Amino acid sequence: MLVLKRDQWLDLARKLDWEPSYVDEKQLFPEPASGKPWLPAAAWREWDEPYRTSYTEYVTNQQAKEAAVHTLRDAVGQPDDRKALDPCWLNAVKLHAATLPLAEFAAVVGNLRAARFGRDSAWRTTAALGALDELRHAQIPLLLMHGWVESDPQFDWTHKFFHTDQWVAIAARHFIDELLLASDPIELAIGTNFVFESGFTNLQFVGLASMAHRAGDRMFEKLLQSIQTDEARHAQIGRAVLEVVVRHDRSHAQYLIDKWFWRSWLFFAVVTGFAMDYLTPLAARTASFKEFVQEWILDQFQRALDDVGLERPWYWDQFLRALDTYHHMLCASAYTYRATVWFDSVLPGPAERAWLAAKYPESWPQFEPIWERISGRWREAGPGVEWHAHGLTPVGFCNLCQLVLCGGTPEHNTARTLVHAGRKYIFCSEPCAFIFKSEPQRYAAHRDVVARILAGQAPANLLELVTAYFGLDRQTWGKDVHGGRYAWLHPADHPEAAEPRS
């Protein structure tokens, strides 16, 4: 039997566009569903991406990846294996486990929309495979973490997180819903495939994977690597779409870059910034969060922008300054309000602070007094008294990113205010205010946690807010991972401090 070689049939199978005769092109691909700029099919005809995967190849490769994950899970992903890991590190896993898997599920929806309304057939094929990827990315962590729920109910937040009104979940939904559920295929390609997946996911899926390896967490390392190989493939959609959009509507392309770069940066500052610089044990850290951003974002992303002829976002200097400060401010806020999140936090000791001071020589002196003050509160109270080193009143949130208002530094905050249709809004930063002003119809009606409290939709009392509104309880709300028992914190007068918590 004569079998055609791959190269002889692949283009025929990938490029299946035809001229519609029953309806016109605009009815087949209406602008609200396909995205703007709306261009005739001829403008997309040359669309291509380098992987050019066929369905048969896809299934074969994915089957092998799945088998590898399951083999490793049987070998090192059991509850007893988890007990051998550093308790602090496990909280980096919980942070990932809650914020990513159901976001990946939202990416299934975005990719399926592109698989129907993307303007070129090869794009649609790649997006269809992307949707299958994203389903796998949602399922692997749900499966792996499920086995751990029984012995640690905080892992239940892997599935629960996006279904709650916990404040990080509100912020994550605000971002993920727009990026993955609501955006048209062009905005999805630029925001998700080009900005989020080509640049930022490397921080978590390559950078944090190297720390998982050092922390001895081979299961989590494998999970991240298995996902990353898929991301690298469907991320290629972004560049190919962006090149066409730049040719026809450069300012729209630039706006989408500016908007999604900032929003992605904030998301990863929370997820990866905390995990790398605070929750990963010192011995397992391979580099600082800032160093990873410099490698993956500053160098690579900038080169990618140059290649397509776009500028760096206009707020680049503000971004560079935030790189030294933002996740440190957020982390101090989160520690001070640790009962409002689903994972435990750690108090950086002298060794960790010396490491942070070396990695962030310009900015760290401003954060040292915050941790000194928190340490002082623990010293006064003694181990186990969480509330003495905890905030009591709800804090303010940005009306765009919905994260805590903690841009800038203790001396110089970056908040911006704005009145729109008679309502006053506040933002953590100038780029957040810019995004709001560019599309107020998208954002103006949303209510942050404080607005919900003022409207009587959420309780003002912090304990009630945490339990009745955020969905946490005594077992799951975040605590100090060692209950304040640090040998360096309570030298002679608290000998029990040296004992690890059972």
CB closer to Fe ion out of 127 and 426: 127
Q: What is the token pair recorded at 92?
A: 């980096």
Of residues 125 and 325, the one with the C-beta less far from Zn ion: 325
Residue of closest CB approach to Fe ion: 137
Minimal distance in Å, beta carbon 299 to Fe ion? 22
Q: At what angle do helices 87-99 and 121-146 cross, to 10 degrees?
A: 140
Strand partners, 397: 404
Among 76, 323, 400, 404, binds Zn ion (CB under 5 A): 400
DSSP, collapsed to helix, strand or coil, labels residue 86 as coil
Provide, rounded to whole angstroms, the least separation between the CB of residue 218 and Zn ion. Answer: 36
Query: SS3 of 479, please?
Result: coil
Q: How far is CA 360 from CA 206, 324, 364, 498, in A?
A: 22, 6, 6, 29
Q: Which region among 33-41, 129-137, 260-268, 458-466 touches Fe ion (by CB under 5 A)?
A: 129-137
Stretch that binds Fe ion, among 48-56, 99-107, 240-248, 372-380 (CB under 5 A): 99-107
Size of the site for Zn ion (CB under 5 A): 5
Residue 137, interface with Fe ion (CB under 5 A)? yes
**Is residue 257 near Zn ion by the rule CB under 5 A?**
no
What is the rounded distance in angstroms from the CA atom of residue 274 to the CA atom of residue 356? 12
Would you say 137 or 490 has its CB closer to Fe ion? 137
Which region among 56-64, 86-94, 136-144, 334-342 touches Fe ion (by CB under 5 A)? 136-144
Q: Which is nearer to Fe ion, 229 or 457 (CB)?
A: 229
Burial bucket for residue 484 (CB in 10 Å: 0-12, 13-18, 19+):
buried
Between residues 237 and 428, which has the closer beta carbon with respect to Zn ion? 428
- Does 104 sit near Fe ion (CB under 5 A)? yes
For Fe ion (CB under 5 A), the number of binding residues is 4
Q: How far is the CB of 233 from Fe ion (least distance, A)?
A: 9
Contact 433, 444 (CB under 8 A): no
Does 173 contact Fe ion by CB under 5 A? no
From Zn ion, Fe ion, none, interface partner of 428 (C-beta below 5 to 8 A by class): Zn ion
- Segment contacting Fe ion (CB under 5 A): 113-121, 133-141, 293-301, 412-420? 133-141
Which of residues 104 and 480 has its CB atom nearest to Fe ion in the complex? 104
| Residue 405 binds which of Fe ion, Zn ion, none (CB < 5-8 A, kind-dependent) | none
- Judged by beta carbon distances under 5 to 8 A according to partner kind, the member of Zn ion, Fe ion, none in contact with residue 156 is none
* Single-letter amino acid, residue 16: L
416-420 and 423-427 beta bridge pairing: antiparallel
Contact indicator for 261, 313 with CB cutoff of 8 Å: yes
Nearer to Fe ion, 93 or 322 (CB): 93
Q: Which of 203, 222, 226 is nearest to 286 (CA)?
A: 203
| Closer to Fe ion by Cβ: residue 104 or 156 | 104
Rule CB under 5 A: is residue 49 a binding residue for Fe ion? Answer: no
CA angle 299-304-309, nearest 5°?
Answer: 125
Binding-site member from 188, 330, 401, 465 for Zn ion (CB under 5 A): 401
Spatial distance between the Cα atoms of 307 and 243, rounded to a whole number of angstroms: 9
Q: From the list Zn ion, Fe ion, none, which binds 401 (C-beta under 5 to 8 Å, kind-based)?
A: Zn ion
Number of residues written out for the chain: 502
Q: Which two tokens stand for residue 126?
A: 């790649």
CB-CB contact of 168 with 99 (8 Å)? yes
User: Terminal CA-to-CA distance of the chain, rounded, Å?
Assistant: 68
Q: In terms of CB distance, is 137 or 485 closer to Fe ion? A: 137
Among 76, 128, 279, 428, contact with Zn ion (rule: CB under 5 A): 428
Query: Can residue 432 be called a binding residue for Zn ion (CB under 5 A)?
Result: yes
The CB-of-197 to Fe ion minimum distance in angstroms stands at 5
| CB closer to Fe ion out of 105 and 335 | 105
DSSP state of 424: E
- Pick between residue 137 and residue 321 the one whose CB is nearest to Fe ion: 137
Site string for Fe ion, 201-240 (x = CB under 5 A): ------------------------------x---------
Per the CB < 8 A criterion, the answer to whether 486 and 349 are in contact is yes
Residues 380-399 that bind Zn ion (CB under 5 A): 398
104: partner contacted, choices Zn ion, Fe ion, none (Cβ within 5-8 A by kind): Fe ion
Own/partner long-range contacts of 217-225 (Cβ < 8 Å, ≥24 apart): 217/85, 217/89, 217/93, 218/72, 218/76, 219/72, 219/73, 219/76, 219/77, 219/81, 219/144, 220/93, 220/96, 222/68, 222/69, 222/72, 223/69, 223/140, 223/141, 223/144
Binding site partner of 432, from Zn ion, Fe ion, none, Cβ cut-off 5-8 A by kind? Zn ion
Q: How far apart are CA 388 and CA 378, in angstroms?
A: 7
CA 310-266-444 angle, to 5 degrees, is 90
Instruction: Using CB under 5 A, list all residues that contact Zn ion.
Output: 398, 400-401, 428, 432
Instruction: Using CB under 5 A, list all residues that contact Fe ion.
Output: 104, 134, 137, 231
